[in-house]
Amino acid sequence: MRTFEKSKKLDSVKYEIRGPVAVKANEMEEAGIKILKLNIGNPAPFGFRAPQRIVDVMKEHLEENEGYSHSKGIPDARQAIYEYAQKKGMPNVHQDEIFTGNGASELITMSLNALLNPGDEVLVPAPDYPLWTGSVTLAGGTPVHYLCDEQSDWMPDIDDIKKKINANTKAIVVINPNNPTGAIYPDEVLQQIADLAREHELILFSDEIYDRIVMDGYEHRSLCTFAPDVFTLTFGGLSKSHMMCGFRIGWMILCGDRSKVKDYIAGLTLLASMRLCSNVPAQSVVRACLEDKSELEEMLLPGGRIYEQREACISALEKIPGLSVVRPHAAFYCFPKLDVEKFNIHDDTQFAIDLLEQNHVLITSGTGFNWPTPDHFRIVMLPDVDTITSAMEGLAEFLSGYRQA
């Protein structure tokens, strides 16, 4: 009998956030068990809604938006993204080099597919948002992970980046604010990465999808502002800032010196054309989203929902013996560390399964974010204060008796 296997290209491609543990959680749900899903940064199931004014704009324009658009996006959306880039001080941006996508995800995959050949290396952070590692691999390249240092609030380890640059390195990926750590990088760190890219003639990929989800007085600065000459692709979108993950709208902004990347840009344009265009109704709300103050801003201040959920989650985690956590200042994730000796942890997927089975709480293990040792996990801090507090109390109880065989 003839059988069909997945392509060899997928051999090393993983996406644990929706991987086997999440599949098990879905099966438990189907069997009638209520699961608290802290695995995906999807605000809608936790009662966050896209602003009504934005939904109204989409409805109003729906009937004009049934056709394909220009493959890079409708002029009004690209102009609005261009103006947003200006507000952020992004240098050297041209409106005709802004691409809209079905989420930033599609553009991340596309930008790597257009660039990489077998043997090409891309420096990706560890931990990372695993789409990056998966997409480098799928594109035929080799992800080389540079460490972010937990002891320094999860900042990229610049020396580690330096050590890992070689003649095959083509690009550095920076995720700032970071998923899964919730770190936001200061100017000095961004400057050092930009300088390394310049010195070694590397492209920069800057994932800034959480640029508006920043707390505690921190301010987000775009990586490209530190490297006006270095060719940089900046990824953004409305999934998180406007709680509309399902509408699928993101963008990619090119800036820096184009003189050596003309053919690469032609490749990007070709891939954008082949997928025709991104979701047009979602493009129609870009201006409305970017022009106005985000509804999210108040949620990030003391008393606001995202701020208070983070406070509740972190203060509950800090009380758990054998667990430590770096306080995140951005996005809505944290990446706690488990004491390896105390819990005898050697398999963090098993840890996730055990927690799921015992507490009916779904988290994603640290190795799912390409963290090299099985001693971390990610929590999505989107549930309301009572729910997240009781989930963390449950975690404390679970850990009080936990030790891997």
Contact status: 250 vs ligand PLP (CB under 6 A):
yes
Least distance from ligand PLP to the Cβ atom of residue 281, Å: 16
**Residue 401 main-chain phi, psi, to 5 deg:** -115, 15
Residue type at 246 in one-letter notation = G
Residues 37 to 96 in contact with ligand PLP, rule: CB under 6 A: 41
Q: Which is nearer to ligand PLP, 41 or 336 (CB)?
A: 41
Which CB sits closer to ligand PLP, 170 or 242?
242
- Phi (first) and psi of residue 174, to 5 degrees: -125, 130
Please check whether residue 372 is in contact with residue 145, taking contact to mean a CB–CB distance below 8 angstroms.
yes
- 345 sits near ligand PLP (criterion: CB under 6 A): no
Question: Is residue 234 within the footprint of ligand PLP (CB under 6 A)?
Answer: no
Is residue 250 within 8 A of residue 104, CB to CB? The reply is: yes
Q: How far apart are CA 329 and CA 181, in angstroms?
A: 9
Q: Which two tokens stand for residue 152?
A: 């320094």
- Judged by CB, which is closer to ligand PLP: 129, or 402? 129
Question: Contact between 209 and ligand PLP (CB under 6 A)?
Answer: yes
**Three-point CA angle 322, 364, 125, nearest 5°:** 90
Could you give the CA distance from residue 55 to residue 119 in angstroms, rounded to a whole number? 45
**x/- map, 24-43, ligand PLP, by CB under 6 A:** -----------------x--
Residue 366 lies near ligand PLP (rule: CB under 6 A): no
Residue 390 C-beta-side C-alpha neighbours within 13 Å? 7
Residue whose C-alpha is closest to residue 360's, from 25, 23, 43: 25
Kindly determine how many residues on this chain lie close enough to bind ligand PLP according to the rule CB under 6 A: 13
> First vs last Cα of the chain: how many Å apart?
41
Least Å distance, CB 344 to ligand PLP, is 31
- For ligand PLP, the binding residues in 96-115 under the rule CB under 6 A are 103-105
CA atoms of 100 and 80, how far apart (whole Å) = 11
Smallest gap from Cβ 109 to ligand PLP, in A, equals 10
Q: Is 223 in the site for ligand PLP (CB under 6 A)?
A: no
- Cβ-based nearer residue to ligand PLP, 174 or 345: 174
Which of 43, 130, 237, 374 is the binder for ligand PLP (CB under 6 A)? 237
Question: Closest CB to ligand PLP among 129 and 146?
Answer: 129
Note whether 211 and 177 are within 8 A (CB). yes
Distance of closest approach, residue 175 Cβ to ligand PLP, in angstroms: 5
Which parts of 237-347 fold into alpha helices (H)?
Answer: 262-274, 280-283, 286-291, 296-299, 305-318, 340-343
Considering the rule CB under 6 A, would residue 239 count as an interface residue with ligand PLP? Answer: yes
Residues 169-188 that bind ligand PLP (CB under 6 A): 175, 179
Residue numbers of the site for ligand PLP (CB under 6 A)?
A: 41, 103-105, 129, 175, 179, 207, 209, 237, 239, 245, 250
